[in-house]
Copies of this chain bind each other. A is one copy, B any other.
Amino acid sequence: MRYARVSVDGRPMWGRVGERDVSLLSGSPLEGEPEVIGAVSRSTAVWLPPVVPPVFYAVGYNYPRHIAHAGAETPARPEVGYRANNALTGHGSPIVKPVEVEGRFEAEPELVAVIGRTVRHATPEEAREAVFGWTIGNDVSARTWQHSDRTFWRSKNSDTFKPMGPWIETDVDALAQTTVLRVNGAEHARFPTGDMVHDPFDFIVEMTRHLTLHPGDVLWMGAESTCQLEPGDTVEIEISGIGVLSNPVHLEGNRA
């Protein structure tokens, strides 16, 4: 099943995604079994981030080739960081590059686990059961700020820097898929989703030793490769079995 959030007359609504239509739902599939109460055409749907998480978790270095490329050390344990909800945007919406950004402005294609249960002290099996489904994230990063600042507040969490979507796929073997990164149709990266140092279930087991995960929490799993984005580009991240997250890149226009 594919679940999305769409904007209907300016209001966010949950939907179940079919071939042609998005069936609108009476509530969140994370909180029960909502009823179908309408439909919109898939071709004209305005896609929102498929969930607004209570906590937005993100893994840093997690793919061996990325770690080698960065000259970083392979993490001995699953250690997680955070991103911020203000930065979320949906499939099809623009990534807005601030006019102050200098240097590399990059896409990072990531698999995202969406938590479906309240879970603490998870066993490996409970960690698997805790995942409701999977979506796609683009961890857009302004590298000069990332290196100059004490935190990732503006380098990774400026408004629109966290496209997520287009939907949550509940029926996919997410670690046996392929991630492809394209800019203006040209392929810039291709890697197996599952080629991770620590997989999502390793993270859930380790994290829930000390914290409670809640329905709707998201866990972004890191990227193997990145590529440069320029205003005017369209960036696409495809993960087989899930879908395609596509966003145009705009230059911030309303402030100098």
Chain A interface residues toward B at CB < 8 A: 52, 54-55, 60, 75, 79-82, 84-87, 98, 100, 120-121, 149-151, 153-154, 157-159, 207, 209-214, 255
Query: Can you pick out 5 interface pairs between chain A and chain B where the beta carbons lie within 8 Å of each other?
Result: A86-B214, A121-B255, A153-B210, A159-B210, A159-B211
- Report chain B residues within 8 Å CB of A100: 209
Tell me whether A85 and B55 are in contact (CB under 8 A): yes
- Report chain B residues within 8 Å CB of A158: 210-211
Tell me whether A211 and B154 are in contact (CB under 8 A): yes
- Report chain B residues within 8 Å CB of A86: 54-55, 211-214
- Report chain B residues within 8 Å CB of A82: 82, 84, 151, 153
Tell me whether A151 and B211 are in contact (CB under 8 A): no
- Report chain B residues within 8 Å CB of A207: 153
Known: A82-B82, A121-B255, A255-B121. A87 touches B153 (CB 8 A): no
- Report chain B residues within 8 Å CB of A154: 210-211
- Report chain B residues within 8 Å CB of A213: 86
A210 to B159, CA, bound (A): 6
Least Cβ–Cβ distance between A118 and chain B, in angstroms: 10
Known: A85-B54, A86-B54. A79 touches B149 (CB 8 A): yes
Chain B residue with the shortest CB-CB distance to A54: B85
A207 to B158, CA, bound (A): 9
A242 to B161, CA, bound (A): 36
Tell me whether A60 and B212 are in contact (CB under 8 A): no
Please give 13 more A-B residue pairs, beta carbons under 8 A apart, in addition to A79-B153, A86-B213, A154-B211: A55-B84, A55-B85, A55-B86, A75-B150, A79-B150, A80-B151, A82-B84, A82-B151, A84-B211, A86-B211, A98-B210, A157-B211, A158-B210
